[in-house]
Structure 1
Amino acid sequence: MSRPPRGLTATSLLLLVTMLASFTPTPLYPAYRQEWGLGDAEISWVFAGYPLGVMVVLVALGGMSDRIGRVPTLRLGAGLLIAAMAVLASAPSLEALVAGRLLQGAATGLVTGAGAAALMDLHPRGTGAGTSRTTLMLATGLAIGPLLAGQATARLPGPLVTPYVLTIVLLLVPFTALVALGSSRPERTTPARLLAPIRVPRSILVPVGIAAASVATTNATFAMLGSYGPDVVARAASSSSPGVAGAFVSSILVLVAVVQVLARGPRVVLMAVGAATTAAGWGAVTLAAALREPAVLVAAVPLLGVGAGLGLHASAGHVGAVSPPERRAEIYSAYLLSAFVALAASAFGLGAVVEAQGITAAAATATGVCAGLTVLVALGLLPRRSR
């Protein structure tokens, strides 16, 4: 059996742990509320600091690995992510918590753009397989993160510190492997400025735009789960346990990961189906919260998991298929930028709705947003399907 290309395993693991880290604070928000007296609007700032950090880096440095190489960029991102976890673990105040999330977002922007491009470059079965590996690692990390943090919060001492320390330990594994790679294998780079804004060629604006609308439904779901997953559980299932909330969020995200392995079919069709299914899932959550009916909430889990999973899988694959090899990190970063804009907008917008009208109204808003995006995806696909 042939050995995988050098760096493939380390890059895959780094992507997985990076996404695991993104949801590490999720089950901790009730504890922050209780200890620091935070309100819903302040929790929204904590959550939104993460995508804001990602977006700033993607705009200026999204194509950096196309210019200086994949491995150096991944090392930098992993190092910054370890530093961000240390800041969050020692945060004494809301301001420090937001700063840690901003730094975490910046590190995530470096890792995801460079990591996705590296897997497309390195995977022995080509670009499509590399993109599938990317979405599998991202989704698996998202699925493990809330469950691990929820169990650490419920069972281990130091609930506002231990989950971050565990994440640092996990990050040290791929970081050490990337450092050990050294520079023995020269990477093809292009002479250019370190800071350069990302651009999408006009010839692929339409397919990238369709993918952006599709992944926005996935990230609206992630925003709701990340900021208000425990509140949804408390409203619909009358339980405020961090373990129960973590299990609810992780159940959905496990399905997102499973879909990355099982999804088959034309990507354009999968994007439309995923968006519609996600809208239906949030409709079920709205009903469950309004009726305080746990059974309906449970029924929403497969809809949200499958819908969000299809949106992630198909949109990322679509972008990978149309991206020029020499600009893979740049184009994928543009796609990620659109995804995190949706994440930040959802966090702020839904936070305002929760503050003003409650979690049921926020779930109904998520339903409407996903339904509107479904229409956009379908309208964008109609001309292409008719050719």
Structure 2
Amino acid sequence: MTAVLDRVTTPVARRPYLSRTVGFAGMSAAMVAILVAAGAPTPLLPIYQAQWALPPSMLTLAFGVYAFALLAAIPVIGSLSDYVGRRPLMIGSLALDLVAMLVFLSSTSIGWLIAARVVQGVATAAASSSLSAAVVELAPERHKKLGAQMTSMAPLAGLGIGALFSGVVAQYASDAAFAVWLVLAAVMALGTAFAAFTPETATPKPGALASLIPRVSVPAQVRRLFSSAMPGVVASFMLMALYLGLVPVVLRAVFHVSSPLVGALAAFVMFTAGAAVSATTSSVRPHRLRLVGASGLAIGAILFAGAIGAHALPLLWAGALVGGAGIGAGFAGTTRGLVPEVAQHQRAGLFTAIYLVGYLAMGVSAVVAGLVIGAVGAASMAAGFGAVTAIVALVGVLATAGVKR
């Protein structure tokens, strides 16, 4: 009887969670780390190509499957954290990305590399919703705007940092791939442990299984605006596919540049420009941002195509700078224009629709480019890719100009 009373009256020990401020900082870092890992393969692709004697089409397939895996996972698990809580999904996504890093680390063939990219795509999809929501909710009350800015800047900044980090390691390390994936595996392990002690910000509720049914919806009141913004979104993701998945191949085949750091710096310039524009244009009207963004994308793609035709490497860098600014402006204008016009319960489906279009464009364009390169060569493929991207962006300029502010 005494033992029973002791069990009843003794308080249950609670897990010592971190403070919300520390959790905000840690999960912001984890969100960046997830995207750092996504950008890391770019400078390593030529190394894998040389080691395994791969055709360019296999490299673009390894890049494209990431987008397809993310595309398939986002509609299924995008809203799961609303039902099971943020922390379980944060722990799961970081742990799954750790698995991807370990598969990369032990890869001995292109098949394992593709498998690692698929796992990484699913992990990134799971993290994109749970980490983004947690960062906004954990942000200090006086700095809630900072949480929203982190969610918009982290993807661009993370991809750029990942490419640069991997490029520097590839330039100077004897076994670059092993070093990159070992460091990132340690980062993901640390992030997983940190997430376990981060305070929960969402109350679990029934309906988790039902939430796994894919939901993609564009509310009626924003369908015209959504349609006008989609060419810019497609052009943005095509340009990202170009600099993340194809530029390393183009540099080696067209410009005879074998240094992995050059391609990494081009991607870093593009994503840094995008993050900077996104962070500094909060006072600019969304309609103007979309116009500027689509115009920047068109100019950046034209500069890239011109770099191939004129065999002028500086134009490729200029295209990265201008096109990156266009990505940042266009995506910021799209989200800031659409989100305030819909109810809170409609936003998850809306974001799913935006990413569905974007990642479909990224994956399809990369895989098609890989198939075309074998038939027409790297130079013709790259010039054609730039031209098509410019045309899509110009359609975005006309579509945006035709919609009232």
Please give the per-residue CA displacement for 1:296-346, whole angstroms capped at 9, x wherever unaligned: 233323212211222232223334434533454443233222221111012
Matches within 5 A, 1:41-190: 41-123=57-139, 124=141, 130-181=147-198, 183=200, 187=203, 189=205
Work out whether 1:215 is the aligned partner of 2:240: no
1:298 & 1:43 partners in 2: Cα distance? 22
Aligned length: 383
Considering only aligned residues, what root-mean-square deviation do their CA atoms show, in Å? 2.5
Amino acid of the structure 2 residue aligned with 1:284: L
2:82 & 2:341 partners in 1: Cα distance? 16
Task: State which of 239, 248, 251 in structure 1 corresponds to 2:257.
Answer: 239
2:241 & 2:365 partners in 1: Cα distance? 6
In the alignment, what sits opposite 1:227? 245
Does the CA-based 8 Å contact 1:86-1:164 persist in structure 2? yes
CA displacement at 1:51 relative to structure 2: 0.8
In the alignment, what sits opposite 1:26? 42
In the alignment, what sits opposite 2:269? 251
Amino acid of the structure 1 residue aligned with 2:238: A
% same residue: 23
Please give the per-residue CA displacement for 1:200-242, whole angstroms capped at 9, x wherever unaligned: 1432434444444322222111111121222333456442111
Does the CA-based 8 Å contact 2:56-2:249 persist in structure 1? no
Amino acid of the structure 1 residue aligned with 2:244: G
Does the CA-based 8 Å contact 1:142-1:253 persist in structure 2? yes
In the alignment, what sits opposite 2:316? 297
Does the CA-based 8 Å contact 1:230-1:242 persist in structure 2? yes
CA displacement at 1:295 relative to structure 2: 3.0
TM-score normalized by structure 2?
Answer: 0.86
1:339 & 1:14 partners in 2: Cα distance? 23
Please give the per-residue CA displacement for 1:57-112, whole angstroms capped at 9, x wherever unaligned: 11322221222222222221111111111111111111111111000000011111
Matches within 5 A, 1:328-343: 328-343=347-362
1:312 & 1:125 partners in 2: Cα distance? 26
2:94 & 2:338 partners in 1: Cα distance? 24
SS at match of 1:161: helix
Please give the per-residue CA displacement for 1:264-322, whole angstroms capped at 9, x wherever unaligned: 41112212321221121121111111221223233323212211222232223334434
2:27 & 2:346 partners in 1: Cα distance? 19
TM-score normalized by structure 1?
Answer: 0.89
Question: Closer, same or farther in 2 for the Cα pair 1:128/1:332, shift >3 Å?
Answer: farther
In the alignment, what sits opposite 2:364? 345
Does the CA-based 8 Å contact 1:116-1:329 persist in structure 2? no
Once the two structures are overlaid, the 10-residue window that deviates more, 278-287 or 202-211, is 202-211
Larger radius of gyration between Structure 1 and Structure 2: 2
Task: State which of 291, 303, 328 in structure 2 corresponds to 1:272.
Answer: 291
Amino acid of the structure 2 residue aligned with 1:346: S
Question: Closer, same or farther in 2 for the Cα pair 1:286/1:374, shift >3 Å?
Answer: closer
Amino acid of the structure 2 residue aligned with 1:71: R
Amino acid of the structure 1 residue aligned with 2:376: Q
Does the CA-based 8 Å contact 1:63-1:327 persist in structure 2? no
Once the two structures are overlaid, the 10-residue window that deviates more, 298-307 or 36-45, is 298-307
Question: Closer, same or farther in 2 for the Cα pair 1:121/1:158, shift >3 Å?
Answer: same
CA displacement at 1:358 relative to structure 2: 2.8
Once the two structures are overlaid, the 10-residue window that deviates more, 72-81 or 265-274, is 265-274
Once the two structures are overlaid, the 10-residue window that deviates more, 169-178 or 78-87, is 169-178
2:377 & 2:148 partners in 1: Cα distance? 38
In the alignment, what sits opposite 1:283? 302
Question: Closer, same or farther in 2 for the Cα pair 1:326/1:174, shift >3 Å?
Answer: farther
Please give the per-residue CA displacement for 1:15-54, whole angstroms capped at 9, x wherever unaligned: 2111111111111111111111111111111001111110
2:207 & 2:195 partners in 1: Cα distance? 23
Unaligned runs of 5+ in 1: none
2:87 & 2:246 partners in 1: Cα distance? 36
